[in-house]
Homo-oligomer: A and B are copies of this chain.
Amino acid sequence: MKTPIPKAVVNRLPLYLRRLEYLAAGGTETISSRELAESLGRKDAQVRKDFACFGNFGRPGVGYPVAELITKLRGILGTDHLWRVALVGFGNLGRALVAYKGFQKRAFKIQAVFDADPAKVGRRAGDLVVQSAAEMVPEIRRLGIPMAILAVPAEVAQAAADRCVEAGVVGILNFAPVTLDLPGHVAVNHVDLTLCMEQLSFLASTLSRRAAGP
């Protein structure tokens, strides 16, 4: 825990957490690095090195205590408390995200929904009501919402992101296919479905080519 946790490790922590929570639900109390690694398609040494980034609470001959690890990981990831989230954009994707059980069951709760289309404003979104994009900045600020999910068209994504930052948001999950330009004190994560499909297209093409012959 002395040195900052490497980026590559951070990306794996949620993966470990998910698996550990599954194991805990099944009653597992300790797990070895090898077992955990194999269930995630990784090497045991990597798991040990990763966990060594924050304290040594594995026990030789036994393994790691599942419950302790979960607590520790949640603390590190910041999911030991609820994050309230604003959803910007109530198109197809936005609607799906509001209804998505995965967020509800975890540490994230969508607490406000905005859209620029007057036809969408006022519509019900789960137990929320879609608000006008014009009210976005004051409303996010009033509620003190720290995170936003952008599910808007590419053309308006940068502008929407700027307004989120203006409203005091510190983290943005962006679904629009553009690279956002934001101040360094705001965290951004990017999910581009088309990009994922293109990467998959490459992999599939390569594997097929290899299978077919040189």
Interface positions of A (Cβ within 8 A of B):
4, 10-11, 13-15, 17-19, 39-41, 76-79, 83, 85, 92-93, 95-97, 99-100, 102-103, 106-108, 146-147, 170-173, 177, 179, 181, 184-189, 191-208, 211
Q: In the bound complex, what is the Cα–Cα distance between A182 and B31 (angstroms)? A: 23
Chain B residues with CB under 8 Å of A173's CB are 196-197, 200
A4, A172, A196, A197: which has the most chain B beta carbons within 10 Å?
A: A197
Q: What are the 9 A-B residue pairs with the smallest beta carbon separation, nearest first?
A: A78-B205, A171-B204, A187-B203, A96-B96, A14-B198, A92-B99, A92-B96, A78-B201, A189-B200
CB pair B78–A18 under 8 Å, yes or no, is no
Q: Is the CB of B39 within 8 A of A179?
A: yes
- By secondary structure, the A interface counts as helix
Residues in chain B near residue A97, CB distance under 8 A: 193
The distance in angstroms between the C-alpha atoms of A83 and B179, with both chains bound, is 25
Q: Is the pair B193, A211 in contact by a Cβ cutoff of 8 Å? A: no
Q: What are the residues of chain B within 8 A of A14 when measuring CB–CB?
A: 192, 194-195, 198-199
- Bound complex: CA A17 to CA B146 (Å): 33
Q: Could you tell me the distance between the alpha carbons of A97 and B41 in the complex, rounded to whole angstroms?
A: 28
Q: A197 with B78: in contact, given A96-B96, A187-B204 (CB under 8 Å)?
A: no
For the complex formed, measure the closest distance between the CB of A63 and the CB atoms of chain B, giving whole angstroms. 19
CB neighbours (8 Å) of A195 from chain B are 14-15, 18
A194 touches B102 (CB 8 A): yes
A15-B179 in contact (CB<8A): yes
CB–CB A198/B79 < 8 A: yes
